[in-house]
Amino acid sequence: MKRIGIDVGGTNTDAVLIDGDKITASIKVPTTQDVMSGVKSALAHVAAHIGDTPRPLDAVMIGTTHFTNAVVERARLERVAAIRIALPTGASLPPMCDWPEDLYRAVDPMIFMVHGGHEYDGSPLVQMREDEIREAAMKIRDAGVTSVAISATFSPLTTECEDRAAEIVRSIIPEARITLSNSLGRIGLLERENVALLNASLQSLGRTTVQAFKTALAEIGLDAPFFLTQNDGTVALADVAAANPVFSFASGPTNSMRGAAFLTGLDDAMVVDVGGTTSDIGCLIGGFPREANNIVHIGGVRTLFRMPDLLPIALGGGTVVDPETGAIGPRSVGYRILHEARVFGGQTLTTSDIAVAAGMIEMGDPSLVRDLDPTFVHDTLARMRAMVAENFDQMKTSAEDVPLIAVGGGAFLIPDEVPGASEVLRVENAGVANALGAAMAQVSGEVDQVFSDMSREQALAAAETEARAAAVAAGADAGSLKVLEVEDIPIAYLPGGARRVRVRVIGDISFG
């Protein structure tokens, strides 16, 4: 199978062309301010090698930071309407009550709280007031808002209120793009609602980003199915992924982790992905990133949904070092490293300059950092090692030593010995592990919800059926699907033998 994988990072855009298990071509180019010209440059380079082998191109997989950056930068976000079905409860904590003020202003929400929802046992809280939803929908329509997030208390137990509310909103605003909180998040109203609202605010950006990538592929003459990478290390058809941009928030680090597993052949290990701005430390279990099972903050917003368990630290190839104190980060020159780092003739001292001065790597003009005091260089390297060691230990879940795989363009910053690591592995093509992880990704489907009034076997079977359907909708070949994870937890405080079931299936891309 021949595929192109691309990963757009804050500093570099990486691309690879793979044919089966072989890397045919690869390139790393600086990420451009407009993003797309860098993507086109990387695409053009690897596309030129497609004819090196007779097989046609099967697919293009792209991982992008567009959506995360939009939230962090408070830019390119769409005005949203929030409909919460929970009254008479929850009135003291309205939607978005815990959002950072600048992000709240950027989204400029219309907020409606209506009667309805369910109790923790699945019984109605109060009767849902459909007239209140109609009234809210008419106000949303009159304001010209088309992106709507709907949440209801305990909707993962029963989606009845959210489903009915969506029907009412669509009857009044046919063009509405509706995000239901039960399709994204877990138990916990505020966190689930926050995910739905973030997703709603990114709807326009999702469509325009996918269209921009399609245009870039067409301009280069590539005619192949196009996929976006997801938070769990898999991919989904671009048009499907565009409807849920939040599932692509952490796709960059997860691509790198999947690439690290491919390059080393290890399915269980720790991975540190060193980019230009940050390093992400994560854990591989069975060849996939360990999933976070607690609160994850996105741009200052509390969320709880399908995200990898990652620890970002302010250590990257472009991280700024204070020449007076030796303090490292958190600022980075990012994609401007080729102009601002001292080894490239700039005036800003970066971690890459320190590495060049220490003889750890060759880049730029080493003579431009010969004036650095050797003691200062030594002490700065010691601080870097301490940062890595402390955060690596924080992410470990075992007292035993485990292998650590160093990937990413800044992997040279990771020392050869790290306390708690049985070995530090460096492999060929580690600098483009993220693009490689994208290129060899599979398609997954996941269900995480509460089932009741059925046996354990029936609940597991129902969850697996839904997970398989989700995978096929995302572009998987139904015949290749296999169950990757099954988790079920009885919920003693709920009636009807309720249990939370999480099933994840994975399969190859369908070209049918």
Query: In the prediction, which pLDDT does 349 show?
Result: 95
| Judgement on whether residues 410 and 452 belong to the same structural domain of the protein | no
| 493: amino acid identity, one letter | Y
Per DSSP, which regions of 378-474 are E strands? 402-407, 421-425, 443-451
C-alpha to C-alpha distances, 81 to 71, 150, 191, 300, nearest whole angstrom? 17, 8, 17, 20
Q: What are 213-265's pLDDT values in tens digits?
A: 999 999 988 888 889 999 888 888 888 889 999 999 988 889 999 999 989 99
More reliable by pLDDT, 286 or 44: 44
Q: What are 364-378's pLDDT values in tens digits?
A: 999 999 999 999 999
**Maximum distance among all Cα pairs of the chain, rounded to whole angstroms:** 75
**CATH number, domain containing residue 161:** 3.40.50
More reliable by pLDDT, 307 or 79: 79
Q: Is 304 a member of any domain?
A: no
pLDDT over 90 (residue 389): yes
User: Of 385, 409, 431, which marks where a domain is finished?
Assistant: 431
Q: What are 79-91's pLDDT values in tens digits?
A: 999 999 999 998 9
Query: In the prediction, which pLDDT does 356 show?
Result: 95
Average pLDDT on 418-446 reads: 90
pLDDT over 70 (residue 393): yes
CA-nearest of 164, 215, 177 to 34 is 215
Q: Is 375 a member of any domain?
A: yes
- Give the count of beta carbons closer than 10 Å to the beta carbon of residue 75: 10
pLDDT over 90 (residue 409): no
pLDDT over 70 (residue 512): no
**CATH number, domain containing residue 12:** 3.30.420.40
pTM of the model: 0.84
The DSSP line for 353-366 is: HHHHHTTS---S-G
pLDDT over 90 (residue 452): no
Q: Is 319 a member of any domain?
A: yes
User: Rounded CA gap, 166 and 287, in Å?
Assistant: 38
User: Rounded CA gap, 131 and 309, in Å?
Assistant: 42
User: Rounded CA gap, 448 and 299, in Å?
Assistant: 24
DSSP 202: T
Strands 80-87 and 59-63, how do they pair? Answer: unpaired
User: Rounded CA gap, 60 and 336, in Å?
Assistant: 27
In this structure, the chain runs to a length of 512
| Judgement on whether residues 319 and 405 belong to the same structural domain of the protein | yes
Q: Is 294 a member of any domain?
A: no
- The tokens describing 420, both together, are 């708690």
Q: Is 334 a member of any domain?
A: yes
| Judgement on whether residues 419 and 477 belong to the same structural domain of the protein | no
CA-nearest of 395, 100, 440 to 263 is 440
| Judgement on whether residues 18 and 91 belong to the same structural domain of the protein | no
| Judgement on whether residues 94 and 176 belong to the same structural domain of the protein | yes
**229, 306 contact by CB (below 8 A):** no
Please give the backbone phi and psi of residue 304, each rounded to the nearest 5 degrees, phi first: -145, 95
User: Rounded CA gap, 213 and 72, in Å?
Assistant: 22
Helices 130-142 and 160-172 cross at an angle (nearest 10°) of 40
Q: Is 257 a member of any domain?
A: no
Least confident piece of the model among 9-13, 257-261, 305-309: 9-13
Who contacts 441 (Cβ-Cβ below 8 Å, separation ≥6)? Answer: 5, 61, 227, 229, 233, 234, 235, 255, 258
| Judgement on whether residues 329 and 241 belong to the same structural domain of the protein | no
User: Of 373, 404, 431, which marks where a domain is finished?
Assistant: 431
| Judgement on whether residues 212 and 187 belong to the same structural domain of the protein | no
> Under DSSP, is residue 339 helix (H, G, I), strand (E, B) or coil?
helix
Per mean pLDDT, which of 124-138, 175-189, 423-437 is the most reliable?
124-138
pLDDT over 80 (residue 445): yes
Q: Count structural domains, the chain.
A: 4
| Judgement on whether residues 396 and 358 belong to the same structural domain of the protein | yes
pLDDT over 90 (residue 464): yes
Residue 245 CA, chain-centre distance (Å), reads: 9
pLDDT over 90 (residue 130): yes
| Judgement on whether residues 90 and 136 belong to the same structural domain of the protein | yes
Q: Is 127 a member of any domain?
A: yes
Work out the pLDDT band at 186, boundaries 50, 70, 90.
confident
**5, 24 contact by CB (below 8 A):** no
Work out the pLDDT band at 120, boundaries 50, 70, 90.
confident
Q: What are 468-481's pLDDT values in tens digits?
A: 999 998 888 999 99
| Judgement on whether residues 377 and 421 belong to the same structural domain of the protein | yes
In this prediction, what percent of the chain has a pLDDT beyond 70?
A: 100
Q: Is 446 a member of any domain?
A: yes
Strand partners, 405: 271, 425
pLDDT over 80 (residue 493): no
| Judgement on whether residues 67 and 115 belong to the same structural domain of the protein | no
Indicate the burial class of 131 (C-beta count within 10 angstroms; 0-12, 13-18, 19 or more): exposed
What residues make up the domain containing 492?
442-507
| Judgement on whether residues 240 and 320 belong to the same structural domain of the protein | no
